[in-house]
A and B are shown apart, each in its own frame.
Chain A
Amino acid sequence: MTIPKSVQPTQHVAGESDMDEEPAASIDAAIQGALGRRLRESYEEVVREEVPDKFLKLLDDLKLAENVGGPTGSKVGKG
């Protein structure tokens, strides 16, 4: 009972009448450039944060779990 993609309504695209005037290209480019820098700055601020230890610990645990459950045998069971 899935609807084939071809039957789904296409997304409405805003008509050109929504945007009466083209902005001056140079100002537009300048603002877009500044916005882009703000965006990267804001994102990079999080990227540069120190990665909390819990993530590395998690990966260690995942590795450990694999080794314990691995086919090379473990100490599980009576010794």
Chain B
Amino acid sequence: MAAPDFEHDLVGAISHLRAFARSFANDPARADDLVQETLVKAWNSRDSFTPGTNFRAWLFTILRNVYFSQHRKLRREVDDPDEQYQNSLSVPPEQHGHLDLADFRTALGTLPSDQREALVLVGAEGFSYEEAAEICGCAVGTIKSRVNRARNRLVEILGDPELKGGHGAAHATDRLVKDAVRG
């Protein structure tokens, strides 16, 4: 790809890289650090991008690699900040009448990271299962099962008396169903 096109596409993808990075690191500053390192790596290895293939998928793969190589180092050296983040979110959100975005994010944060990643790639970024599998370096079936488990877990956390016979979650479900009906 010619350098100006590459640069143009790279700039255009930054906002998506930032959003994807937040699914790994909840701290926005840490997420942005990930993006910066991804940009450097992408720029330096731009010759390895095959024109005509999915540019965003290529970038996401790089970001993932950056994250996991940092993560391994972190785990060896100090307490893992992302693990602390997970632990701080291990309590499900309180139900208070409606499901706002903050509740949703909290629930999303309690998912195992591989499930959250699969759900974000497929459900939010709109990648196909095949593309998501390529980004994560795993089988298509694995992605499908992660997405399914993530969805089921979210319904469980956010509450659904019809499915779970739980209590106190009726409003959240009402809201979800109303939203769904409104389209």
Contacts and interface: CB of A to CB of B under 8 A. Distances in A.
- A complexed with B: yes
A62 B151 contact: no
A34 B16 contact: no
Given A31-B160, A31-B180, A62-B43, A38 B104 contact: yes
Interface in A42-70: 42-49, 51-52, 54-56, 58-59, 62-63
Contact of B119 (A28, A39, A49): A39
B7 A63 contact: yes
A76 B1 CA distance: 30
A51 B124 CA distance: 19
B177 A48 contact: no
Interface residues of B, number: 42
Chain A: number of interface residues, binned into ranges = 35 or more
B170 interface: no
A28 B64 CA distance: 32
B123 A55 contact: no
B154 interface: yes
Interface stretch (B32-40, B69-77, B85-93, B128-136): B32-40
Contacts of B110: none
Interface of B: 7, 10-11, 14-16, 18-19, 22, 32, 35-36, 39-40, 43-44, 99, 101, 104-105, 108, 119-120, 123-125, 142, 145, 151, 154-155, 158, 160, 162-163, 173, 175-177, 179-181
